[in-house]
Structure 1
Amino acid sequence: MDRTESLLITVAAPFRHLRKERLQKSEFIFYLTIDRMWMSRDQAALLLQRAEGEGLIRISGGLIEPLFAVASVTAPLGFKPTTVIFEEQDPYQVQIERVTRVTGRSAPEVTAEVAALVHDQFDGHLSPEAGLVLLSRRYGVPISDTLASLRTSARKGRKKVD
């Protein structure tokens, strides 16, 4: 099971078990820390940050609302999240995954569209990160939380687009 799937199952579990569309922050943390004993309070708070940053939930006025179909997520028997859910993902990959969710296209297709944008419209004078930002905005994909990291990555010149 990969990090994204494990994170999705972990976030969906309290909503499914409590059969609610929205949860108080305290209910969510209680479920993960006391009810399931999956993690500490600090880890649960970090999980909330990660989930919000990856566009899985919205936190407003102390209420947590999932931004995905909770009913479509099922946990395998005996599921317990591992520490991999707390690891920070590459912002470029996070943004690619978001675009794939919104457009319904595969990651290689989205990556190819970024490459085409960079090469065809900017003659290769645009970083792949900047191309991804433009593509994200074109499709209305949230980007505010990954923008600073993508900017830093572009300055380092890490990504190559073929």
Structure 2
Amino acid sequence: MQRYTRTAIWLHWLIAALIVASFSLGVTMVDIPGLTPTKLKYFSWHKWLGVTIFALACVRLLWRLRHPAPPYLDSMPRWQQKAAAALHFLLYVLIIAIPVSGYFYSLAAGVPVVYLGIVPLPVFIGPDPELKVILKQVHYVLNMSLLAAVVLHVAAALKHQFIDRDDVLRRMLP
């Protein structure tokens, strides 16, 4: 059985954990009424997680380009191989697009992003109330799409583990 590289496995699980944390924080912070110190702190943490996820996703993408994924098992039907490839592509697109949409949403809202409260990120656009509304919706839709894609990804991995019993999941386990 061919496995992913240790680096690919490490990046996969680290990014997955950060996405869960960022998503959970995002859901929590938007439910806090008003503009409280806690809400502001959560927004900062959410942005920092987004920047970190974006950076790690870029590293992961570069790693993947130089270290291809192991081939699909011969026992997998061709349609499943194509579906898996499409879902993996979608996951990569979303993992990159979501932090970008959040970043531009923040800028359109007139709130610059300062990574870890230390490193100010470039300001590419100024405050724009109309664009802010659009980017907020884009960020939300992309996140809901990622949630659906992750559920499908996990369901497929569990199907391979418990129904097909073909060790596909073990290729990505540490």
User: For this structure pair, what is the TM-score category when the shorter chain's length is used for normalisation?
Assistant: under 0.3
Give the alignment's TM-score, normalised by structure 1.
0.25
Give the alignment's TM-score, normalised by structure 2.
0.24
Name the one with the larger helix percent: 2
